[in-house]
Structure 1
Amino acid sequence: MRHPILSLILILIASAASAFEIEDHAVFGDEGGAERIRILSTADIGFFEPMITSYLSERSGIAIDYTVAGSTDVMRAIYEENAPFDLVISSAMDLQTKLANDGRALQHVPPASVSLPEWAVWNNMVFAFTQEPAAVVISKADFEGQPIPSTRQELIAALRRAPEQFRGRIGTYDIRSSGLGYLFATQDARTSETFWRLTEVIGALGAQLYCCSSEMIDDVESGKLAIAYNVLGSYAAGRGENENFATILLSDFTTVMLRTVLIPSTSQRPQIAADFIDHMLLQTYGEGVSPLADAVPRGPVEDAALHRIRLGPGLLVFLDQFKSRRFLSEWENAIVQ
């Protein structure tokens, strides 16, 4: 059960005690129980709550304290502040890999009953439990009677045909502050030079920069934005059929993020944290059906166009300070015009 008033109090207490910014907070399960798992996550409460509910339905005497923060704040909390969380869930695969690579995560070996794909685990520390594509969300009203773009080239053409219609009404991540946005941008740039041409066109039309997918989708739904680029398709799909917006998986290539979980070295309850991971992996790769399955969109995109980001040290390339500064400088020159 969630308790909004208690959650608000806990947010205020936690914010005062920590430098990282907390976006949301909730407590589930038996608050008077003997055990409490503290989870720090980039996933919205509404998105992840089904997994928490499925876990607690099989266990008693456990409470789950769930804190939501942006990906860079999640990194800061563990890497710089040594915050005592038991699980860290993030959409920023590169930052999760860095935590593990730099000794900030504990190893865990899942049970034999979990048929874990090779691509879903790195060094028995970082575990993937969803595959979520980066999508384009468009306002149906703005594209009424017009062809729906299915590639980045077609999206560029649509913007150039009617620049005044889209001026100031295109949203994308501010990759200077969003770890997931930075990950998507660097992966797009590695895949195709079209990314930079599209970024320049969006920038010339006065792109609106956001921290989060949810806010972009809200603004497309309200009509403030006509297009949101590289949002989490799972958040759009989680809203079900919508009369105001459509979700597109681009067919030239669609970047697929793996949402991952790890046990930070600061965990005070690593055994219970490991049990939660095992439950998640069993639901995802075992005989069960993941409670999050319905939130992951599926579209008419050929498998060859799906570019799953690989876990591993290759993700650390763009975290190098020199490469990061150079990439951000090029992005700023393109997007901030």
Structure 2
Amino acid sequence: MRPLARLLPAIAAALALWPGAASAQVTLFPAPQGDGQELSVYSSLDDDLAAPLVAAFQSRHPRVAVRYENLLTTQLHDRIVAETQAGGGTADFAFSSAMDLQVKLANDGFARPVETPDTPGWPGWANWRDTAYALTFEPAVFAYHKPSFADHPPPATRADLMRWMAEHPAEAQGRIGTYDVARSGVGYLFLARDQELYPGIWSVVQAMGRAGVQQFPTSAELLERIADGRLAVGYNLLGSYAADWARRHPDLGVILPRDFTVVVSRVGLVPAAARQPGLGADFLAFLMSPEGQSLLSRTLRLSAVSLEVAGQPGPAGGMQDLAGLRLKPVPVSPGLLAYLDQATRAKLLARWNKALAGE
């Protein structure tokens, strides 16, 4: 694998005709063996995390250079739509944590069907019409400050969380954190799934409101405060980031809820207007292959979708064994489009705010 130090540094680049380009981070990965084709990737995965994936792909395709653009999820969606409609072509591969926006691209005709060698064995919930594939398996977890639970176990279910808040009000007051669901796309998706799967969720939200729950738009802001003890518990955090923080911060623990665990995925697709669709299909096939899934699972700590990889011994993605858990993956399907409906969103956010206020 090519040392990362040899990679060209990230450069700021803008496409003159795209108004959001100034906020895109572009990294150029030169072809290891001279000039050849260039694969264009739009992704919400940070480029430093993507670098091992690109290097492994290029070891299979040494004459392929990779232009990797790190975008916010809404920018990624909007750019593919705008470039397709302008008729000039767009990225060859799109990889995003916004499941709903990726499915919208596929549903609206902006993704092309692609079959890879691993398509026949891919789980049905993780593949929509061979146009949008779930490539990771990321649970919503409870994170907790270990020293705060030295004398009693941390909550492992939503009922446990309510019991802890009731029995330890002084410890809980102002020390529970979760996503600001109005600003965090994944936080909103977790809340919507909670409502679908658990009728008692609003009692949990009311209890968190009474305990002065703190809301943050990013995982990093939550995990930093749990690691140093400002927060005792984080509710519904993205497991991949929590597991990474736990490895680097010994006072931070992670629990996959025992009552049910919502699972989200990063979704990959080849745009219908890709300039090099064959290269996009090759990159998708690599990410779906045992090698690509192993790299996602072990190097990036994003648990694998591939049953072949996920079934290997050891913890999935560096987290605890998933055996015995009530896993509830969000299907890659048009059902996700309901989360984009503005009236539905406004209604859910209003109910969230009222529950936090005790109404």
Q: TM-score, normalised by structure 2?
A: 0.81
- From 197, 219, 224, give the equivalent of 1:213: 219
State the Cα deviation string for residues 145-168 of structure 1 (Å, max 9, x = none): 122111011112212333343333
Report SS of the residue matched to 2:203. Answer: helix
Going from structure 1 to structure 2, the CA distance change for 1:196 and 1:79 (only over 3 Å counts) comes to farther
Within-5 A mapping of 1:52-67: 52-67=54-69
Q: Report how far residue 190 of structure 1 moved.
A: 0.3
Matched, 1:312 2:333: yes
Deviates more, 1:275-284 or 1:83-92: 83-92
The aligned amino acid for 2:343 is: F
Structure-2 residue corresponding to 1:101: 107
Deviates more, 1:59-68 or 1:178-187: 59-68
The aligned amino acid for 2:19 is: S
Matched, 1:277 2:284: yes
Structure-2 residue corresponding to 1:129: 135
Going from structure 1 to structure 2, the CA distance change for 1:63 and 1:320 (only over 3 Å counts) comes to same
Structure-1 residue corresponding to 2:73: 71
- From 45, 49, 52, give the equivalent of 1:50: 52
Q: Report how far residue 102 of structure 1 moved.
A: 1.1
Going from structure 1 to structure 2, the CA distance change for 1:209 and 1:113 (only over 3 Å counts) comes to closer
Going from structure 1 to structure 2, the CA distance change for 1:25 and 1:332 (only over 3 Å counts) comes to farther
Structure-2 residue corresponding to 1:37: 39
Going from structure 1 to structure 2, the CA distance change for 1:156 and 1:329 (only over 3 Å counts) comes to same
Report SS of the residue matched to 1:107. Answer: coil
Structure-1 residue corresponding to 2:10: 7
Contact between 1:138 and 1:246, CA under 8 Å: does it hold in 2? Answer: yes
- Distance in 2 of aligned mates of 1:16 and 1:218: 38
Deviates more, 1:148-157 or 1:75-84: 75-84
Matched, 1:186 2:192: yes
Structure-2 residue corresponding to 1:176: 182
- Distance in 2 of aligned mates of 1:245 and 1:263: 38
Deviates more, 1:15-24 or 1:50-59: 15-24
Going from structure 1 to structure 2, the CA distance change for 1:203 and 1:268 (only over 3 Å counts) comes to farther
Going from structure 1 to structure 2, the CA distance change for 1:28 and 1:210 (only over 3 Å counts) comes to farther
Contact between 2:12 and 2:24, CA under 8 Å: does it hold in 1? Answer: no
- Distance in 2 of aligned mates of 1:69 and 1:125: 21
- Distance in 2 of aligned mates of 1:53 and 1:219: 34
Contact between 2:8 and 2:30, CA under 8 Å: does it hold in 1? Answer: no
Within-5 A mapping of 1:174-323: 174-239=180-245, 240=247, 242-283=249-290, 290-294=294-298, 295=301, 296-299=317-320, 302-303=323-324, 305-323=326-344
Q: What are the ranges of 5 or more consecutive residues in structure 2 without an aligned counterpart? A: 302-316
Q: Report how far residue 38 of structure 1 moved.
A: 2.7
- Distance in 1 of aligned mates of 2:81 and 2:210: 37
Q: Report how far residue 334 of structure 1 moved.
A: 2.7
Report SS of the residue matched to 1:67. Answer: strand
Q: Report how far residue 253 of structure 1 moved.
A: 0.3
Q: Report how far residue 36 of structure 1 moved.
A: 2.8
Greater radius of gyration (CA): 2
Contact between 1:2 and 1:26, CA under 8 Å: does it hold in 2? Answer: no
- Distance in 2 of aligned mates of 1:28 and 1:335: 47
Contact between 1:140 and 1:244, CA under 8 Å: does it hold in 2? Answer: yes
RMSD: 3.0
Q: Report how far residue 264 of structure 1 moved.
A: 2.2
Q: Report how far residue 191 of structure 1 moved.
A: 0.3
Contact between 1:167 and 1:205, CA under 8 Å: does it hold in 2? Answer: yes
Report SS of the residue matched to 1:264. Answer: coil
Q: Report how far residue 64 of structure 1 moved.
A: 2.4
Contact between 2:43 and 2:96, CA under 8 Å: does it hold in 1? Answer: yes
- Distance in 1 of aligned mates of 2:331 and 2:82: 26
Structure-2 residue corresponding to 1:148: 154
Going from structure 1 to structure 2, the CA distance change for 1:55 and 1:117 (only over 3 Å counts) comes to same
Report SS of the residue matched to 2:39. Answer: strand
Contact between 1:47 and 1:235, CA under 8 Å: does it hold in 2? Answer: no
Contact between 2:43 and 2:68, CA under 8 Å: does it hold in 1? Answer: yes
- Distance in 2 of aligned mates of 1:36 and 1:261: 18
Q: Would you say how many aligned residue pairs link Structure 1 and Structure 2?
A: 332
Structure-2 residue corresponding to 1:326: 347
Going from structure 1 to structure 2, the CA distance change for 1:211 and 1:62 (only over 3 Å counts) comes to farther
Q: Report how far residue 125 of structure 1 moved.
A: 0.5
Contact between 1:2 and 1:28, CA under 8 Å: does it hold in 2? Answer: no
Q: Report how far residue 29 of structure 1 moved.
A: 4.0
Q: What are the ranges of 5 or more consecutive residues in structure 1 without an aligned counterpart? A: none
Deviates more, 1:108-117 or 1:326-335: 108-117
Deviates more, 1:26-35 or 1:118-127: 26-35
State the Cα deviation string for residues 121-158 of structure 1 (Å, max 9, x = none): 11110012221111111111222212211101111221
Q: Report how far residue 40 of structure 1 moved.
A: 2.3
Structure-1 residue corresponding to 2:309: none
Aligned-pair identity in percent equals 31
Report SS of the residue matched to 2:148. Answer: coil
Going from structure 1 to structure 2, the CA distance change for 1:289 and 1:278 (only over 3 Å counts) comes to closer
Q: Report how far residue 246 of structure 1 moved.
A: 0.5
- Distance in 2 of aligned mates of 1:331 and 1:23: 32
- Distance in 2 of aligned mates of 1:216 and 1:23: 25
